[in-house]
Structure 1
Amino acid sequence: MRVGLDVGGSKTEGVAVASDGSIIARVRRNTGWGPDAVVETILGVVADLGAQLGADASGAASLDLGDTVASALGVQVRVDNDVRAAALGAAVLRGGSGSIAYLNLGTGIAAGIVTGPEAGHGARRQAEPGTVWRGARGAAGEVGHISVDPAGPVCRCGQRGCIEALAGGAALAERWGRPGTHPVGDIFEAAEAGDPLALTLRGELARGVAAAVRILVLTTDVETVILGGGLTALGARLHDDVRRELEAVAEASVFLRSLALAERVELLAPGSPAAAFGAALAGAPEEGVLIHG
């Protein structure tokens, strides 16, 4: 079996994947603070997976962990970017064929791109889970720091009007400036009540995400853009806002209308373990992995 882990600032999720590509165990823990606590969290998740399966963690063939964790577990280790891992996992979990871009809407904004006709999977057939496009220096998909409004808010990268400054969760929370556990959700609620600042921020969120979708399609011509990340907990409200923005921009352009951008956007299923699953797939042997639904 293989184990994949999605290590985030607030939670760490792990999945165990059998040789046929099916997820056979899943665990989530809060991520500890500091290097030692992060490693302890990872080891705890792996131990919990082993306990669920009645197996010792040292029996895993590969894990997507750092060198420190590798020495603690005594297994092979592979590390990858979380958004790229999620793109791979989302492509396989979605099924079908064709290229996809996974646009992660969280604290920041970034994308992973999976190319090739085998981005999906079929029932019990030998298949590659897809190829993640990394670019010459690993920067492929870093759409969050493309400026789409030179007069817009200052981004943490130093530019103005970056997609991340308009649509990133951290930037929105800072500009909202009001206490709350879920500030972006609060923005949507306040916007529905007519709050002027909330209406502005909600509109800029849709504008930023729509810009990212256009850039991904116009530069890579992927078949589908899958929206994932924490902000997609907003569900249909976010999806509908983005689709309306894409349709509004396309009204002035025959070319953009021909691309049917709004129809190419999908939401990742709620609670999907795409990143952890993708991490497990990324650790598969070079000859491929048997994948089925």
Structure 2
Amino acid sequence: MTATPALPAGLTAGLDIGGTKVLAALLDDDGHVVESLRVPTVRGPDGVVASAARAVHDVAAAAGVTLADLDGVGLGVPGLVDPRDGTVTHAVNLGVEGARFPLADRLSSALGGLPVATENDLNVAALGAAHLLGAGRAGRADHAGHADLAFLALGTGLAAGVVLDGRLRRGASGAAGEIGHIPVDPGGPVCACGQRGCVELYASGSALSARWPARHGRPAPAELFEAAAAGDLRAVEIKAEFAAAVASAVRILALTLDVQHVVLGGGVSALGEPLLVAVRAALEQQSRTSPFLSSLRLADRVSLAPADVPVAAVGAALVGRRKVS
């Protein structure tokens, strides 16, 4: 008679809920990813709950377990998230607007009462990155690492999730890490936030696409970097200016928080190594005339988010353990 394999202990599901897809990861008690997958996102409050519930069911089934085997579920959601009561507001990309939406309670009900915890999507990405880097982690993965780390998301906008000494830094109003709205050029264009010359206007995916629109049906960042590699002088110029702007965002994080790691994520990070090389080169260039900046070795602190692991879903699973403060 064949023995039934023992189930991994302490299973927790984590979901990174975006406007088009839900990325799900199942973590065991040692912090290892047991299973991961993605499902489409259905917009609107009811659609988001249904999509999230499907993702939890599917990732559990793919691992050969049931909901009864899970200790909890964590969610990473864009918009304003109150982790204390699991409500979400202004998640425009998900079609969740207006009054506070009790996402955690609604999903818990859909999952038969399974505990559900919510957190902002950038915050869970920072937690996941700290966990995967393992910087200073003391044993069990539910400590989420004791790293000082910022996850810099280069997407439609620009913002960072921040982990200091293993703890999320949300800020007094939840705005910690919103460095995209730090003005760097008072005479620059008007930002959506109402200020002028914000970092986001120069170092985001939207900013790059505005200067180099996609022409061949591929993401604008990829087309730009390929054109620059082929010797297109205009592309070389735009690439260098974009890399310098991202380096400025890294410098802001390093000089205000002195984080040990700045992890580049978001849609633009799909460029991979060419992006990392360009940003590190820009940081080296900016440090050449400053012994102070040179002493901080900023280029050595920058890395890419892993392309083969759903970083934010991993961080969400840590939140689902309800041991993240």
Verify same fold: TM over 0.5. yes
Q: Structure 1 unaligned segments of length 5 or more: list them.
A: 117-129, 289-293
Larger relative contact order (Cα-Cα within 8 Å, sequence gap ≥ 6): 1
Q: Structure 2 unaligned segments of length 5 or more: list them.
A: 1-10, 76-102, 137-146
* Comparing 150-159 and 22-31, the one that deviates more: 150-159
Determine the C-alpha separation between the residues in 1 that align with 2:67 and 2:106.
15
Name the CA shift for 1:53/1:215 in 2 (closer, same or farther; >3 Å). Answer: same
Cα deviation 1:168-198 (Å, max 9, x = unaligned)? 1123223333443311111212233444543
Determine the C-alpha separation between the residues in 1 that align with 2:192 and 2:239.
20
What secondary structure does 2:119 align onto?
Answer: coil
- Equivalent pairs counted in the alignment come to 275
Partner of 2:251: 214
1:101 aligns with 2:150: yes
Contact 1:176 1:197 (8 Å CA) reproduced: no
Structure 1 residue 265 displacement after superposition: 1.0
1:181 aligns with 2:218: yes
Determine the C-alpha separation between the residues in 2 that align with 1:163 and 1:70.
39
RMSD: 2.1
Partner of 1:121: none
Name the CA shift for 1:42/1:286 in 2 (closer, same or farther; >3 Å). Answer: closer
Determine the C-alpha separation between the residues in 2 that align with 1:149 and 1:281.
38
Partner of 1:35: 45
* Comparing 31-40 and 156-165, the one that deviates more: 31-40
Contact 1:63 1:78 (8 Å CA) reproduced: yes
Contact 2:73 2:321 (8 Å CA) reproduced: no
Partner of 1:241: 278
Counterpart amino acid of 1:220? L
Cα deviation 1:184-232 (Å, max 9, x = unaligned)? 1112122334445433432232122111111111111111211122211
Structure 1 residue 115 displacement after superposition: 1.6
Contact 1:12 1:30 (8 Å CA) reproduced: yes
Name the CA shift for 1:156/1:194 in 2 (closer, same or farther; >3 Å). Answer: farther
In the TM superposition, 1:73-88 aligns within 5 A as 73=111, 74-88=113-127
Q: Percent identity?
A: 48
Determine the C-alpha separation between the residues in 1 that align with 2:135 and 2:205.
30
In the TM superposition, 1:94-133 aligns within 5 A as 94-97=133-136, 98-116=147-165, 130-133=166-169
TM-score normalised over the length of structure 2:
0.78
